[in-house]
Structure 1
Amino acid sequence: MSDTPARSAEQLDADRVAHLAGLARIALTDAERERLAGQLSVVLEAVAQVQEVATPDVPATSHPMPLTNVMRDDVPVPGLSPEAALAGAPAVEDDRFRVPRILEED
C-alpha cells in the first residue's frame, strides 16, 4: 500500500470504455458503451472505498475468521450397487448403461 491518500474514483465515459474494449478486443455497440461506462464507474467507486479502509494497520486476510482445518475426515462409504445405479436407466446392456452410438466406425 502506498502512503498517499486514496483519491475518489474516476468516472468513465463511453470513449474510455471504447478504448478499454479495444484493448480487450471486445466489440461493443454505442448503447453497450454508454451502459458499461456507468456500471464500470460504480465498480471503480467501490474499489476506491475499499482503498480508503485498507490501511497499513489493518492486516490483509483471506477469510474474516481464523480457520485451521475446514476439511472433513475422509470416510469411505459404500457406493451404489450396479442394480441400484442402473435402476432408472432407460436402457441397460451387460450391466452397463446403453447409449446411442454417436461415432461412426471406419
Structure 2
Amino acid sequence: MPSLQQIRAALDGSGQAHVLRFWSELSEEEKEAFLQELGQLDLQRLEEHCQAAAEAAGAAPASSSQNLDPNLEPVPPESMGSVRRSDPESLAGWEHEGQNQNLVS
C-alpha cells in the first residue's frame, strides 16, 4: 500500500490535492481504508478525464440553453423526499420499499 506521502504527491501532481482536505478528521481505520482506495486510482487517467470534461463543458455553445423546453423547470424541493425533512415512519416505509425493489431485481 502506498504511503500517505506518496498518495499526497500523486494527488498534488494530478491537481487533486483537495481530496485530502479532511484527512485530519478521519479515524485511523478510515485513513487506512481511504489510503487503500486512493492507492487503486489511476490518477493520470483521472486527470485526463477531468481535463476532457472541463474542455467539453467549456466547448458547449453559450446558446445551448436556448434549446431547452421553455416549460421545463426544476422539481420543487417540497416535492422531493429528504432524509433530513422526513418523519421516521416515512423513512421506514422507503427503506422497506427499497428492500422490496431489490428483491424484484
Please, what TM-score do these two structures have when normalized by structure 1?
A: 0.31
Higher radius of gyration, 1 or 2: 1
Which structure features the higher share of helix residues?
A: 2
Please, what TM-score do these two structures have when normalized by structure 2?
A: 0.31
